[in-house]
Structures are given as C-alpha cells and as structure tokens.
Structure 1
Amino acid sequence: MKTLQPLTLDQANENSKAIFTGIKSEIGMLPNLYATMGVSDKLLGGFLSFTETLKSGEFTAKEYEAIALATSQENGCAYCISAHTTIGKMNGFTEDETLAIRDKTIADEKLNALVKLTSEFIRLKEHPTQETIDNFFEAGYNKSAFAELIGAVALTTITNTIFHNGGFDIDFPKAQNIEQLELV
C-alpha cells in the first residue's frame, strides 16, 4: 500500500500552499513528487533549500543531473529517472547521453568518473571503492565536490524514496527503458 499521496492546494497547510504556489510560478506546474512531499512543509521547504544550495556549488547543471540520473537508476525510481531525463535534456544532454549515464557508459571521462562514483555510493551502501574515488579526483574533482556529491545523492535518494512510498503518476515524459522499474 502506498502511504503518501499528492496534496491538492486545498489539502495543504499554509506553508505548503505558499511553497506550491512558488514552484508553480517558477516551473509552470506542481510536480506530483513535490505535491506529495508537501505533506510536510518542513520536508519540502528544507529539500528545496538544500537543493538550491547544492546547485550553486561545485557541479555544473549537467553534472548535477548526471548525479540525479545515476542515483535514480541505482535506486530503481522510474519517476525520478523520467524527471531528470527531461531536465538533463533541458541542460544539454541528448537522449542517448541520458541512457549512457544510466548505464555508466557516458563517453565523457569526467562525467563517467562522476557517474561511477555516484552509482557505487548507492550500490555499495555508501562505501565506494578506493579506485573509484581516486578516478573521481583524477578526473579533476576536489574534496568539496566529493562532499557535495554525498549531499546530492542523499537528496535524490529522498525523492526516490518518496516515489516508492507514494501513490502518484509520473507527470513528466516517461524515460526510455523504465517499464521494469515501474513495478518497483
């Protein structure tokens, strides 16, 4: 049974209503994920604030979307894969590149080092191999980026977990090859 459901504006408390209104005015819609997170205005507000802070850090918009795609792929989240495929393409990725990120075969060596480390954080339960860490630093990333990567993986894992425990539809164009994930 799915515990969390998207809230309508009428169901939301005053703080969530204000956040919903801001999201809708900024991006033109209120994604089901955010409408569901709004069951707690503290969760949604804190999530959005932390996300905004991290997006002003070490990673480019494309790198941030690569992290979100790799995390969502490892966590099997069809909703977030679809959302970040759409956003990734808005930030310059091709469809094929989004698929390559998910498969950890992106041709760009720096992005590949980032994607592989991201995937290992999930797959190896926060204990990536030293070789993968070394490759990340050799690709040109620094310790600030390493720390921010941990934060970005954690934020994306929150949204993945909300979807897995929520009863809502994917309201972005569905990404390729997610059919098997929708059953998760």
Structure 2
Amino acid sequence: MTHFAPVDPDTTTGEAATLLAQVKKSMGKAPNMTKAMANSPTLLRSYLALSGAVAGGTLRPEVRERLAISTAQLNGCEYCLSAHTFVGGTVAKIDAGELDAARRAESSDSHVAALLALSATIAANAGDVDVTELDAARAAGVTDEEIGELVAHLALNTLTNYFNVLARVDNDWPVVAL
C-alpha cells in the first residue's frame, strides 16, 4: 500500500495541477509516480526539471534507459526497474538480453559497459572513485562530458528510486521483479 495518496490530475488545483498537466501532455498519462510526487509540487517540479535537462544531453536514450535500470536494481526500486525495462524495450528498442545485462551494470557494447560500470562504482562509493576506474572508462571512449552527465543521471535515478521506495508507489508498469 502506498504511503502517499496519489493526486488526481483531474481534480487537483494550483501548481500540482499545472505540473501533472505537463506530464500528461508529454507522456500521454500521469504515471503513479508523478501523481504521488504531486503531493510536493517542489519535488515534482525538481524531477521534471532534471529529467528534462538530462534528456537533452549527449547520452542516447538507449544508454539512459540502461543507466536507469542499473541504478534501480542497485537501489532496490521495482517501480523504476519496471518502468525503464518497459520503456527500454518498447521505446528505446533495447533487446531483452541487454535489458537484463543492464541490471548487472553490463553490456555487450564496450562503451555502454564502461558507462554502466562507472555509474555503479560512483553509486556504490558515493562518488569516491579511484583514478584507475576513470582511466578504464576513458580508455573505453567515455568522455568527461559523458562522465558529468552520468552523475546527473545518477542524481535523477536516485531521486526517483528513493522516492518510489519510500512512498511505496503502486506499480502501474508491467512488473519486473527485483
């Protein structure tokens, strides 16, 4: 059972209504996560701003989805694991093997594998990464721009993971068990 009552986009008013309308316009619906986040317009506004910012970055959608899957698995967030596995498969067209590999921060693509490994290392060590880890990523072609963007994705994914776990948001995606 959810710890946060979802805000009804059709009956709410004020900033929450405006933000949920923005979500519905961009996604076609307001997922349960955003309806729960709407209890705090500041949280929902922050999520939308960071999500929009990283969507315009250099990392391709299929990489972003893998990063989200890896972080959701690491943080124990079934909601995000389910959502990003669905989006990764249906929208980003990532094959099932690669979706599963992302849960272990792995990929058959060496560049993507390096990004996933670095992301997992950053998350596991609260950003305290040895230079050999950075050198290994750079040797696989990861740029400093991508590393910076990777940190932004970690922040976004950790935000949604922690909120969904805390709030116990009802999963409205095809469930992928942890």
- Whether the TM-score (by the shorter chain) exceeds 0.5 is yes
What is the alpha-carbon distance in structure 1 between the residues aligned to residue 144 and residue 12 of structure 2?
A: 40
Q: TM-score, normalised by structure 1?
A: 0.88
**Aligned-residue offset at 1:118:** 1.0
Which residue of the partner structure matches residue 111 of structure 1? 112
Distance 2:155 2:125 in 1: 14
Moved over 6 A (4+): none
TM-score, length-normalised on structure 2?
A: 0.91
Q: How does 1:29-178 map to 2 (within 5 A)?
A: 29-89=29-89, 90-175=91-176, 178=177
Identity %: 27
Pairs aligned (count): 177
Whole-angstrom distance in 2 between the partners of 1:31 and 1:92: 21
Q: 1:94 to 1:111 in 2, by over 3 A?
A: same
Q: Give the CA RMSD over aligned residues.
A: 1.8
**What are the ranges of 5 or more consecutive residues in structure 2 without an aligned counterpart?**
none
- Mapped contact 2:33–2:164 kept (Cα < 8 A): yes
Q: How does 1:173-184 map to 2 (within 5 A)?
A: 173-175=174-176, 178=177, 181=178
Q: Deviations over 1:139-169 (max 9, x none)?
A: 2222121111111101110100111111321
Q: Secondary structure at the match of 2:81?
A: helix
Partners of 2:64 and 2:73 lie apart in 1 by 14
The answer on whether the counterparts of 1:113 and 1:132 sit within 8 Å (CA) in structure 2 is no
CA 1:120 to 1:13, structure 2 compared with 1: closer, same or farther past 3 Å? farther
Separation (CA, whole Å) in 1 of partners of 2:149 and 2:111: 16
